[in-house]
Structure 1
Amino acid sequence: VMLTVRFHGRRLVACLLLLLAGMGVYHLFTLNSLVDIPDRVLLSPAHLACQHPILDVKNPEIYRFFHNVDPIRCSEEPEWVSVSGSVATITGRTRKEHGDVECSFTELVRDGDDAVRRGLTTTTHDTFVFTNSDFYVVSCTAKNGKTWENTIAGIRRDEDLRSQTSWVKVPVDALKLNFLMLGFDSLSRNTFIRTLPKTYAFLTDTLGGHVMEGYNIVGDGTPQQLIPILTGKTELELPETRRRMGERAQYVNSYPFIWNDFKKNGYITMFAEDQPHIGTFQYRLRGFDASPTDHYMRPFFVATYPEYKNHPKLCLRATPRHKVFFNYVHAFMSEYKNSPKFGFAFHAELSHDDYNLV
């Protein structure tokens, strides 16, 4: 019996040693192969458990999923009203073609996160200044009987709001910088490089931007990524806000958003997101009760989304919807040119379902 045990014991030890040796050889060749293949070079030191590969942006196996799409074609009729910052103007071309034009501007007022209502109406034959709202429904009638209607977005001139922001209020030990965070839903870093090469070159070469190559997702879904970015915590660490929890669910305002910290320190704040039917904080979560930032674009898209079927694809009359979105962001940065500002803009319509549209 003892001889049998010793025999099996020696054979077991030999097998284990052989297995360990085989694993060592396999590991050695695997590391060498990773170094040899350009699109799998290790970024991290070999002793770290989380290894980030450098993937070949021009890999043909990936590029076959990319293709050109037709340009966005909006209405050929020019816009009757143009917007620059906080001022809307009946265009000279419109008056030249149609004669005297009278336009009524009706406020769009936020009524919770999922509805809007109409407020006061102001009539003009020339220019209009945004005062009580960032969004207006415009209805115009020309002397020749022609009519035009659209919903427009700009940055209202709120003097009380402007008086609350100043570089003097920013802490002396702060960086004293303006902040604009711009995101594209469902767009990876490599896809950004593939679809927006000029923008990437401008960010990295001209501006000298830093690319966070080690950044990775921390959950499944848009909220799981943006909540940690904007609060420093995961959803599980924060108050319950899921719609399906009924009365137990709090509004998302209960989260410690970073824009609240900027607001407390003298900054003006903005949050813009399109695609209201799949909003980051509304699709699965309860949304906001009070407006989360000083300027908040959701009411605009809540008002216009049901009307998309009446406009050319991806357009609001003669303007691509993504341009309306980015014009609003640009207007925010321009209107507060000399004030400290924090903006977070998250665009989804072009990238969420088909990155070829970007």
Structure 2
Amino acid sequence: MLNTKYQLIPTDEHLPKEKSSATWIVKLALIFVGLFTLAFYTWSPVLVQPEPCTFTTPRANEALAKWEANCTTSVFEQSTTENEHSTTTNEQSTTNLVLGQQLTARTTKASKSEEKNNRFFVNTPQCQMPYPNPFSRNILNVYHRKRYVVCDKRPDMLKVNYNEKDRTYELHMNNANLTCCYKQILRAGVRTEADSQYKLLPCVTFPQDFVVPNHVEAVITECRRPNSSKVLQEDGFSFVHPRKPDPDPTPSSPADGGAERRPSVLLWGIDSLSRMNFELTMPLTFKYFRKQPWYELQGYNKMGDNTFPNLMAVLTGFNQTRSYSKCRPTAVGGLDACPMIWKSFRAKGYATAYAEDWSSISTFDYLKMGFRTPPTDVYGRPMILALEKELTKRVIKNVPYCLGRRSAAEYIYDMAEQFTEVHKDRKFFGMFWTNSFSHNDFSMPSAMDARMVKYMRTLDHNGIMNNTIVIFFSDHGSRFGVLRKLDSGFLEERLPVIYMRIPKWIRDKYPEFLHSLKANKNRLTSPYDIHATLKHILELDTPAEQLPRPEGCPTCHSVFEAVSLSRNCSLAGIDDHWCGCVGFTVPATDPMARTIAEQIVEAINKFLTGLKGTQKCQTLKLAKISSLHRKGNSNTYLVGLSISPGDGFLEASAQWNPKTETISTTVSSISRLDSYATQSQCVRAEEAKKFCVCKK
């Protein structure tokens, strides 16, 4: 990858001094040049980065008019137009420059924290969502930028070449004095083990430039010296072959740009990456998005605790309760019958794909049964299962980071590259999700920053962006750990990053979509809106009022339609506990603080008692009240408290009834802000995990 080097810039005192021999004419000339330069930079127009619009007028009617006036014109429109056909000539120099600027700017950005704190992601009549400065001093004190992890420094013995003409793969040996073979990876599980078993076929020796058969989708290779049994190098590869011809009569890219034209869709997901942490840890990608036609939703707010409910809202439009009752993820075959959005795309003739790394915590398999049959045309789980077990594994921060010669995430993203390249002449829907470089350490995304830009540029270079809506997004921010415990942790957890890349033909044909996307940049949105947007993509010419609405949020809609300024969290399908429209006052010192906290702990104990398999969980007690905030003049309180045993740190929302002096709270929505994996191994129920402290 990129070998970034830093070189100190010499100051004047280190430069060789010349003898003073300038005449008065030369001096006047220098003065003139200096004055001219000063005037040039003083009077030249400067492109100002767009700032979130603010709102201070109390009346909603006045707000509507002023907001539209302020937000209609966007600097982003100018920047994306100017950079529409821009190309990169030197990724190495860009990386050096930007990384150097980040190091230099860190102190400057930290010193401007007070100015940043006056900004908002959303500032509308019903939602005030502050902008926490990702470069504040308390965050920089705990942030440690990571280098790209090279899993194996040895030269490649094998190379995969893709033949674009006939869409086949060739295995090329970089050393003629080698004997190599491949073991085909197959899905092998049945019933309860359907999504957790694989098998390897015997190793098949292949010749130079061997054309991989179409039925071979993933392999582990071994290379040796001739007549030697010692394996010199093992590797893993995926091969995405073209699916069957498109049965849908709708053309993917008609020359006349007719009304039936539909784009492909690529969901590029990273677990546990907030909008703020994205700006901090991935500055190259952040800068790249701002220079290209990517549209950000800064007010994107998660709707549930962890990955499963937030992705299910995107993929099905269901809330968590409905996701469990309708899709039955803990039952064999339950998820197979679930109306995942990729089924709607497949029905329209799209090729489909889904792949995710770190098999033990993957979205549909952690404490769940997974899929009985492959859910999509291309399914990456069998390959990941095999690579995790068969290849040398390097664990970083308790995560299987390196699988053999590459990082786990790169196998997923390489598969995404193959899938989009093979199917770029027809329509496709793919979701590629990674956990391994972001879940356990908020600093680790910095290790993949330059590589992420390379992936995005490759997609662009391959022409994928011409007919593909790319959604770069996360499910939530850091849910536990040092970053979550800071003052900004409340919003850090609730505001995942999301950007959308829109093809030029859609921007030209549907300019109203762009107007809405720009307006929605600083308005409250949720995963339900993304589900509605995916539905909208299948019916681009259908009037907004006729489009289907998500079952979990009937008031949510496509982001190609402007979000109302009067939207609050309830209208976005977001429970009060997860709402990032803070509105909490300064810490309350109400005398009933202990009463509220004790009742919360009592509610948790009752919740655990009512679940199956929790007999080994200890009874919890209140250890400490760390904070109590009241939401405006309401009876809603946000409580930070510690429990024992286990020293767990919780954050709970509760409604206080002053007459009965009792609370009402949704226990399943209470946040656990520290890691609990080692404390709750005696229970399988997912909802019990964050509260249960197993008896010793």
How would you bin the TM-score normalised by the shorter chain?
0.7 to 0.9
Whichever residue aligns with residue 119 of structure 2, its letter is V
Question: Does the alignment pair 1:155 with 2:233?
Answer: no
CA drift of 1:256 comes to 1.2
Give 1:109's aligned residue. 186
Give 2:125's aligned residue. 47
Question: Does the alignment pair 1:193 with 2:271?
Answer: no
TM-score normalised according to structure 1 size: 0.78
Give deviations 1:168-213, integer Å, cap 9, x for gaps: 366974552121111110111111111111212222322x211111
The SS at the match of 2:250 is helix
Could you tell which deviates more after superposition, 297-306 or 221-230? 297-306
Taking the aligned partners of 1:130 and 1:311, their CA distance within structure 2 comes to 31
Taking the aligned partners of 1:89 and 1:166, their CA distance within structure 2 comes to 34
Taking the aligned partners of 1:190 and 1:269, their CA distance within structure 2 comes to 31
Question: Does the alignment pair 1:271 with 2:354?
Answer: yes
Question: Does the alignment pair 1:319 with 2:406?
Answer: yes
Aligned residue among 170, 173, 177 for 1:91: 173
Taking the aligned partners of 2:260 and 2:119, their CA distance within structure 1 comes to 38
CA drift of 1:311 comes to 5.3
Could you tell which deviates more after superposition, 125-134 or 327-336? 125-134
Taking the aligned partners of 2:118 and 2:157, their CA distance within structure 1 comes to 54
Taking the aligned partners of 2:142 and 2:328, their CA distance within structure 1 comes to 37
Taking the aligned partners of 1:189 and 1:235, their CA distance within structure 2 comes to 23
Give 2:344's aligned residue. 261
Give 1:252's aligned residue. 335
Whichever residue aligns with residue 107 of structure 1, its letter is Q
Give 1:79's aligned residue. 156
For residues 316 and 79 of structure 1, do their structure 2 counterparts lie closer, same or farther at Cα, with a shift above 3 Å needed? farther
* Contact map agreement 1:89 1:128 (CA 8 A) in 2: yes
Give 1:17's aligned residue. none
Aligned residue among 326, 330, 341 for 2:417: 330
> Considering only aligned residues, what root-mean-square deviation do their CA atoms show, in Å?
2.8
Give 1:299's aligned residue. 382
CA drift of 1:342 comes to 1.1
Q: Which has the higher contact order (CA 8 A, sep 6+)?
A: 1
Aligned residue among 287, 291, 305 for 1:220: 305
The SS at the match of 2:117 is helix
Question: Does the alignment pair 1:56 with 2:169?
Answer: no
Give 1:141's aligned residue. 224
- Map 1:156-195 onto structure 2 (within 5 A): 156-157=240-241, 161-164=243-246, 168=250, 173-174=259-260, 176-195=262-281
Taking the aligned partners of 1:46 and 1:184, their CA distance within structure 2 comes to 29
For residues 210 and 333 of structure 1, do their structure 2 counterparts lie closer, same or farther at Cα, with a shift above 3 Å needed? same
CA drift of 1:237 comes to 1.6
Question: Does the alignment pair 1:231 with 2:316?
Answer: yes
* Contact map agreement 2:252 2:426 (CA 8 A) in 1: no
* Contact map agreement 1:110 1:299 (CA 8 A) in 2: yes
Taking the aligned partners of 1:222 and 1:310, their CA distance within structure 2 comes to 25
CA drift of 1:132 comes to 1.2
For residues 113 and 133 of structure 1, do their structure 2 counterparts lie closer, same or farther at Cα, with a shift above 3 Å needed? farther
Give 2:206's aligned residue. 124
TM-score normalised according to structure 2 size: 0.42
CA drift of 1:83 comes to 2.4
* Structure 1, unaligned runs of 5 or more: 1-26, 28-35
Q: Which has the higher helix share?
A: 1
CA drift of 1:71 comes to 4.0
Whichever residue aligns with residue 179 of structure 1, its letter is V
For residues 143 and 315 of structure 1, do their structure 2 counterparts lie closer, same or farther at Cα, with a shift above 3 Å needed? same
Whichever residue aligns with residue 139 of structure 1, its letter is E
For residues 167 and 338 of structure 1, do their structure 2 counterparts lie closer, same or farther at Cα, with a shift above 3 Å needed? farther
CA drift of 1:302 comes to 0.9
CA drift of 1:78 comes to 2.2
Give deviations 1:260-308, integer Å, cap 9, x for gaps: 1111111111111001000101102221111111111111111122246
Give 1:346's aligned residue. 433
Taking the aligned partners of 2:355 and 2:123, their CA distance within structure 1 comes to 39
CA drift of 1:73 comes to 3.4
The SS at the match of 1:51 is strand
Question: Does the alignment pair 1:205 with 2:264?
Answer: no
Give the percent of matched residue pairs that are identical in Structure 1 and Structure 2.
23
* Structure 2, unaligned runs of 5 or more: 1-57, 59-113, 163-167, 189-193, 446-696
For residues 155 and 310 of structure 1, do their structure 2 counterparts lie closer, same or farther at Cα, with a shift above 3 Å needed? closer
The SS at the match of 1:147 is coil
For residues 190 and 175 of structure 1, do their structure 2 counterparts lie closer, same or farther at Cα, with a shift above 3 Å needed? farther
Whichever residue aligns with residue 187 of structure 1, its letter is L
